[in-house]
Amino acid sequence: MRNGFVFVLLGLFCFFNTFVFSNDKSFDLDPSTILETLRKAHPRLMLPEDDLQNLKKIHEKDETLKKYVSEVLSQADKCLGKKPLVHKLIGPRLLSVSRECLKRIYALGLAWTWTGDKKYAEKARENLLTVCAFPDWNPSHFLDTAEMSHAVGIGYDWTFHYLDEADRKKIRTGLINLGMKPGMKAYKEEFWWTSSGFNWNQVCNGGLLIGALAIAETDPEYARFIVPHAVKSLPASLASYKPDGLWMEGPAYWDYATRYTAYGLCSLETALGTDFGLSNSEGFSVTGFFPYYLIGPTGLYMNFADCRENCRPGAKPCMFWLAKKFKQPFLSDKEHEMAQNKGIQPQHVIWYTPPSGEKHPALSLDKYFKSPVEIAVFRSSWEDPNALFVAVKAGYNQVNHGHLDLGNFEMDALGVRWARDLGADNYNLPGYWDKEKGGKRWKIFRMNSESHSVPLLGGKGQDEEAISRFLKTGEGKDTPFVVVDISSAYKEFADKVLRGICLINDRKATLVQDEFEIKDSCSLEWGMITDATIDVKENGVAEMSLKGKKMIARILSPKGANFSVESVEKKPPERSNKGVSRLTIKLNQASGKTRIAVLLSPVWNDGKAVKHWNPKDLSEW
Q: Where are the beta strands (DSSP E) in 422-508?
A: 456-457, 469-474, 481-485, 494-504
Q: What is the pLDDT of residues 99-137, one digit of tens each?
A: 999 999 999 999 999 999 999 999 999 999 999 999 999
514-561 pLDDT, tens digit each: 999 999 999 999 999 999 999 999 999 999 999 999 999 999 999 999
Q: What is the 3-state secondary structure (H, E, C) of 531-593?
A: CCEEEECCCCEEEEEECCEEEEEEEEECCCCCEEEEECCCCCCCCCCCCCEEEEEEEEEEEEE
What percent of the chain stands above pLDDT 70? 96
Q: Taking 70 as the threshold, does the pLDDT of residue 228 lie above it?
A: yes
Region of poorest pLDDT, from 162-166, 338-342, 450-454, 533-537 = 338-342
pTM higher than 0.85: yes
| CATH fold for domain 42-217 | Glycosyltransferase (1.50.10)
At 27, the pLDDT band (50, 70, 90 cuts) reads: confident
Q: Closest by alpha carbon to 510, among 560, 556, 577, 465?
A: 556
Residue 77: the pLDDT is: 98
> How is the chain split into domains, by residue range?
42-217, 366-620
First to last CA, the chain: 25
Mean pLDDT score, 320-332: 98
8 A C-beta contact, residue 449 and residue 461: yes
- For the stretch 179-200, pLDDT in tens is 999 999 999 999 999 999 999 9
What does the pLDDT read at residue 11? 44
- At residue 17 the predicted structure's pLDDT band, cuts being 50, 70 and 90, is low
Q: Is CATH 2.70.98.70 the classification given to domain 366-620?
A: yes
- Choose among 453, 474, 307, 304: nearest CA to 378: 474
> Which of 374, 85, 107 is CA-nearest to residue 247?
374
Q: Which residues pair with 552 in a beta bridge?
A: 543, 601
